[in-house]
Amino acid sequence: MFAKLRRRRGNTGAAPRPGAGNAGYLPETPLDGGVISCQVHDEMGKLLPGALVTITDRLNQQIAHSETDSYGSFLATVQPGMHKISISAGGFKRKSARIEVRVNQHTSLGGVRLESDNSLALPQPGVWTFDPTHTEIHFVAQHVGMSKIRGRFNAFEGQIQVAPRFEDSRIDVVIDADSIDTGVNMRDTHLKSADFLDVENYPKLYFSSTKFHQVRGDRWLIDGAFTLRGSSSNVQLDTAYLGQRTWQGPGFDSDRRAACRATTSLRREDYAVNWQATLAKGIAVVGPTVEIELGVQAVLEQ
């Protein structure tokens, strides 16, 4: 029984890197299983946290699945036998290998280096305009500390000016505040009032980028300023670049488009959105932060 419990705990995935403040810590190897470990690096040899490691058995059943830790390390306890280990990360080619796990032994793949995925070439210099029919701007806010309210903006414009050096590129977005949509008319009317967006006095929301920084692979951080109700505050978009496609839909000319996903968090107090109501226990009706999610397709202007 205890061996099974240890194995189940080990299958949760990544463990601290040996020697990183844990004195070479390794979990106890179960008598009826073994340990697999590896450390993942990018094409430059840098540690690669957040890489996804999946182990399947000879029947192709998943037996371990986790991300590498902040040191690029992965460790799991599994049943003995021949297994397939697959390692993937955004912006890198997947790498797979067969490995035999033996009873009560630790099998290490050592350092595993992933190669860049050339299919994710960056967009060519030029002006890329948001395709409004294939772009979405969503938000999520907490309600009475129990559930999440989801909504979107239906009207907006966006443009990406891609520079010869991609880090020098710029994004500008203008959102029609009156287009807010949570699916409930009464709630939308309140959100448009002076308590929140104050649409009558501030009909537009703005985002303008100031800096692009590549974290690794397909991951970029985009710094910029977001303006709401006439107040501006610095924000950072955590962005995953999804690559490019040539597409021709019904009624459309063939075009070159690039796509990305991005998220950020806004604090209401940064924009003087101070409306507050509380329940009897002091729980806020609307949470202090709003999560923003963007799914963008941009088309290269000819």
Q: How far is CA 251 from CA 27, 70, 254, in A?
A: 59, 47, 10
pLDDT per residue as tens digits for the range 233-282? 999 999 999 999 887 665 555 588 999 999 999 988 887 666 554 434 44
pLDDT per residue as tens digits for the range 105-152? 899 999 999 998 877 889 999 999 999 999 999 999 875 456 788 999
Q: How far is CA 285 from CA 139, 145, 195, 275, 280, in A?
A: 17, 7, 13, 10, 11
Q: Beta-carbon neighbour count of residue 280 at 10 Å? A: 5
Model confidence pTM above 0.75: no
Tokens of 26: 């390794």
pLDDT per residue as tens digits for the range 44-99? 899 999 999 999 998 899 999 999 999 999 999 999 999 999 999 988 999 999 99
d(CA 224, CA 178): 23
Domains of the chain with CATH codes? 2-118 (2.60.40.10), 121-300 (2.40.128.110)
